Amino acid sequence: MSIHPSAVIADSAQIGENVSVGPFVVIEEEVIIGDGCVLDAAAQLRRGTTLGSENHIGSGAIIGADPQVIGFDSNINGGVKIGNKNVLREYVTIHRSTSDGEFTVLGSSNYLMTGTHFGHDCIVGDNNTMANNVLLAGHVLMGNNCFVGGASVFHQFVRVADYVMVQGLSGFSLDLPPYVMAAGVNYVAGINSVGLRRAGFDGNARKEIKEAFRMVYRSGKGLKEALEEAGNREWTNEAGAFFDFLHQKSKKGFCIRMEKAKAD
């Protein structure tokens, strides 16, 4: 273990083996840090934050600060839980939950570039990459294997499913179903075919996903009618997941196809 003498560490913090703590790092009460983590200069882990193993926290990152909610009671014991093998670059901020005993959650093997922000109560899965200054408002849910371009923003309670690719400088107040490429403001442009191929989806699975997308976004039918039609045939598990997401109750509604929006 390597701890710089300028670091400030609470007595109640639990630190695993082979952890590196850089200059001016702050580790507050009831923080748990797993084995093999690296905390660069001036990183802060606020009270109630839990890190798994082999995470790298960049300079100036602040994990577990109070949520940006007017009138928030700082005595509420919400926290942040982070899995294993994540990279959080400089000045990443992740705010803690607004509810006692609840957590803002980041899974494992994610790469968050400089300035990425998670608001309170976000839940983000595994193997996601977020470029600089991506902003997730409170309660955003993101699945696995997504790539989000720089300076993209997501409104509170938005859901982003697996294998979504988002163009930089985009904004979303509506849900994004699995496998789509998304751009602009609440638009989907097509299927993330390259990402699916690289992820090992076979040709038949990709074909079925494209057909599912066509049925919902290019058939000219409304969502309800398209889902009813989809229920009349068998689909691969991968394409079925596309329809399953659209069947789920949404607080926000779903993004629309870019060409249709421009035509309207």
> Is 11 tagged catalytic?
no
Q: DSSP string of 143-208?
A: -SS-EE-TT-EE-TT-EE-TT-EE-TT-EESSBB-TTEEEETBTEEEEE-HHHHHHTT--HHHHHH
CA-based nearest residue to 105, from 135, 76, 141: 141
Question: Alpha-carbon distance 48 to 64, whole Å?
Answer: 7
Q: DSSP string of 235-249?
A: --HHHHHHHHHHHS-
Catalytic residue among 64, 115, 125, 138: 138
Catalytic residue among 121, 126, 162, 175: 121
Question: Alpha-carbon distance 246 to 231, whole Å?
Answer: 12
Catalytic residue among 58, 120, 125, 162: 120
> Is 95 tagged catalytic?
no
Active site (catalytic) residues: 120-121, 138
